[in-house]
Structure 1
Amino acid sequence: MGFHTFPIDRADDLEDPSRYRYCSREELLAMLDPGPDATVADLGSGTGFYADDVAPFVDCLYAVDVQEEMHDCYREKGVPDAVEFVTSDVASLPFDDDALDGAYSVMTHHEYASDGTFAELARVLRPGGRLVTVDWSADGPGTDGPSLEERFGLAAATDQLETAGFEIERARNRPETFAIVARR
């Protein structure tokens, strides 16, 4: 994914339950609002921390990560039946047009953000499909997560999505992160 990837030697850190203080399972599911027949993608799935939370509520969940080693870590801990692995950069997803009902990224937007990536997401999400983005904010204090230089602010992130044709339903800053719900 664009600017950097999470170090594989720190993959165990992705399983830390304290991550829920930035985005809980309930908050993610409420923003994504998937139906039981939905096909969704976890963009930058890593070790499957959030994929495990969403998979029971959808028909198919694509765990998308550019690092095959992250998929290996996920396999080691066990994978829900609904999950299918996709090793790919978000900028070149191997899905047909309008293939996804939804997609989400939790703390990975800063790793793939580019005009081409957002155009790709608009291509693979069906009309009305929902994109949920929770990421470290450049507007935050920078005490956790990547450096402030690697982050986007809420205004920049919503501008990126709107430029790609997404309609912003909700966008808000939180103490260290932002959350955006957008529709294609």
Structure 2
Amino acid sequence: MGFHTFDSDRAKRLEDAAERYRYCSREELHGLVAPHAEMRLADLGSGTGFYTDDLAPHVGTVYAVDVQATMHEQYREKGLPETVELVEADAADLPFGANDLDAAFSTMTFHEFADARALAEVARVLRPGGRLITVDWDHDGAGDAGPPRDETYALDDAVALQTDAGLLVERAERRPETFVTVARLAD
């Protein structure tokens, strides 16, 4: 797992609201992230900004982080909200200072970047009490949607990666195809 990227030739699929909201709705994401006007937030694996756009009006700054320049090009074509800053970077090498972010989130991309280095880097850039919110395809899910299961993490493995990085996992739940975790950096 890790270091797999979504095929940018299929990026238009990332804008399919009916399909995307089937696994994580805008309302669920808002409830998990709890955005506020001063929040500095990173969307890890932002792609074309589908979920970034849902949070952008409610935060001070949201960094749309993606390793693929072509995803950012498509996001620019769609139109960037004024609170969005595009960041081309790998999750294991984020261009933020220590304690810079109030939160980071990943929707259906954790399996693409997650490893010990990336999680340590995310923990480094979160402020004390900062949170990492993850919704991703579950290796132990039904397998009817998402990437091949051999490219995904099981919930327990995702929790272990986050815990090993020094994050306290406050919520971890499995659903039919996906899992959700909310982890916090100790104060």
So what's the TM-score if we normalise by structure 2?
Answer: 0.96
Matched with 1:149 is 150
Secondary structure of 2:46's match?
Answer: coil
Aligned residue in 1 for 2:4: 4
Two-structure CA RMSD over aligned residues (Å):
1.0
Output the CA distance in 1 between the equivalents of 2:83 and 2:20. 23
- In structure 1, the residue matched to 2:179 is 178
1:38 aligns to what?
39
Contact 1:100 1:129 in 2 (8 A): yes
2:48 is paired with a residue whose SS is coil
Instruction: Find the counterpart in structure 2 of residue 73 from structure 1.
Output: 74
Structure 1 unaligned segments of length 5 or more: list them.
none
Q: How does 1:126-145 map to 2 (within 5 A)?
A: 126-145=127-146
The answer as to 2:113 corresponding to 1:112 is: yes
1: CA distance, partners of 2:146 / 2:155: 16
Residues 107-133 of structure 1, C-alpha deviations (whole Å, 9 max, x = no match): 000001110001000100000001100
- Tell me the distance in 2 between the aligned counterparts of 1:114 and 1:170: 20
Would you say the 8 A contact 1:136–1:151 is kept in 2?
yes
Give the superposition deviation at 1:92: 0.1
State the AA in 1 paired with 2:176.
Answer: P
Deviations 1:13-68 (A, max 9, x none): 00001210100111111111122100000000000000000101100000000001
Runs of 4+ residues over 3 Å off in structure 1: none
Name the SS for the 1:178 alignment partner: strand
For residue 113 of structure 2, what is the amino acid of its counterpart? Answer: Y
Percentage identity across paired residues of the two chains: 58
Deviation at 1:5, TM superposition (A): 0.7
The separation in 2 between residues aligned to 1:141 and 1:29, in whole angstroms, is 26
- 1:14-53 equivalences under 5 Å are 14-17=14-17, 18-53=19-54
Question: Given the two structures, how large is their TM-score scaled by the length of structure 1?
Answer: 0.98
Query: Partner of 1:91: helix, strand, or coil?
Result: coil
SS at match of 2:53: helix
Other-structure match for 1:162? 163
2:98 alignment counterpart: 97
**Aligned equivalents of 2:115, 2:132: Cα separation in 1:** 15
Unaligned runs of 5+ in 2: none
Distance (whole Å) between structure 1 residues aligned to residue 30 and residue 104 of structure 2: 11
- Report the alpha carbon displacement of residue 165 of structure 1 after superposing the two structures with TM: 0.6
Tell me, yes or no, if the aligned pair for 1:34 and 1:102 is still in contact at 8 Å.
Answer: no
Please tell me the residue identity of whatever aligns with 2:139. Answer: A
Q: C-alpha distance in 2, partners of 1:85/1:174? A: 31
Q: Check conservation: 1:42, 1:105, Cα contact below 8 A.
A: yes
SS of 2:162's equivalent in the other structure is helix
